[in-house]
Amino acid sequence: MRKSMVICLILSLLCCSVAFAATSPSQEIINDLKGFNGKAGVFALNLKSGRSLSYNDDVIFPTASTSKLVVALAVYKYLYAGVGQDKRDLYDRDVEAMITVSDNDSFTELLGELDANKPDALGRVIKDLRLKRTLIHSDAAFSSFGYHSVTTPREMANVMETLYRDRYLGKPRSVELKDELANTIFHDEIPRFMLTKVMHKVGELDNVLCDVGIVDDGKDQILISFYTTTNLSDTYASDFIATTSAKLYNALRKK
C-alpha cells in the first residue's frame, strides 16, 4: 500500500512538472512564434546573466534597414580615419540620419563612399565579427535570396552586442551610436510596451518587418533580435513583434 502511494505521488509530481513546463513563459513564447502567420525568427539574450531564448535564430532573413548597423560600423572602423574634417562631418550627419530616421539617401551616400574608397570595408566588418551567413550590399545575396542584404537573428544580435560592448569602435564613438539608437523616431516594435530605454534599429520592406535592440532598465540589458516575413499586414507583424518582445523582456530579466 505504501509503495503504491509513493508511486502515485511520484507520478503526480511528474505530471505537475510537465504541466508547469508547458505553461512556462519561455514555452508560451515559443508557441506564439510557432503560431505566427508567416515566418518569425528570434534571438534574445540577457547580456548580464547570459540567459537566452531563440527560435529560427539561424534562419536567413532579409535585413531591411537593420543592415544600416553594419554600414555604420564599416564607416567608422575603416573609412572615417582616412578623410578630412569636412568628410567626417558629412559621415557623422549621414550616420545620424541613417540611424535615427532610417534615411535612405544618407544610407545610399555612405554606400557610395564605401564603394569608392574602401570597397572591402563591409566584408571586413563581417569577417571581424565572424558572421557566417550575413551578406550586406551584395550581388551574391541578391542572386541567392532576392535581396541585396541578408542575415540571421543571431548574427544581427552579434552586431548589436558588438556595438553595445564598446570594444569594436572604442567607447566615445560607441556611446554616440547608442545615443542615436536610443533616440530614433520609431517606437512601434520592440519599444512599444517598454517603460525604459531601448536602443534599437527597425527595418521594413514589403512583407518584411524586423527590429534589433537592447532594452536597458538599469539592472538588466535584454538584447532582442526579431525578424518576420508575412503576407499579412504590417500592423499584424508590428503588433506581434511588440507583444512578443515584451514577453521576452519579462521572461529574461531578473525578477
34, pLDDT greater than 80? yes
Residue 46 has a pLDDT of 98
Residue 5 has a pLDDT of 42
Domains for the chain: give ranges and CATH numbers: 28-252 (3.40.710.10)
Mean pLDDT along residues 216-235: 97
12, pLDDT greater than 70? no
* Contacting residues for 31 by C-beta, under 8 A, at least 6 apart: none
Sign of the alpha-carbon dihedral angle for 102, 108, 111, 113: negative
10, pLDDT greater than 50? no
* Contacting residues for 23 by C-beta, under 8 A, at least 6 apart: none
Tell me which of 10-24, 34-48, 161-175 is least confident.
10-24
The pLDDT tens digits of the residues spanning 51-100 come to: 999 999 999 999 999 999 999 999 999 999 999 999 999 999 999 999 99
Average pLDDT score, the chain: 92
Q: Closest Cα to residue 70, out of 186, 183, 206, 177?
A: 177
Cell of 45: 539574450
Q: Where are the alpha helices (DSSP H) in 101-215?
A: 104-117, 121-128, 139-145, 153-164, 171-181
Residue 23 has a pLDDT of 54
Residue 147 has a pLDDT of 98
Alpha-carbon span 69 to 156, nearest angstrom:
9
The pLDDT tens digits of the residues spanning 128-168 come to: 999 999 999 999 999 999 999 999 999 999 999 999 999 99
Residue 254's pLDDT band (cuts 50, 70, 90)? confident
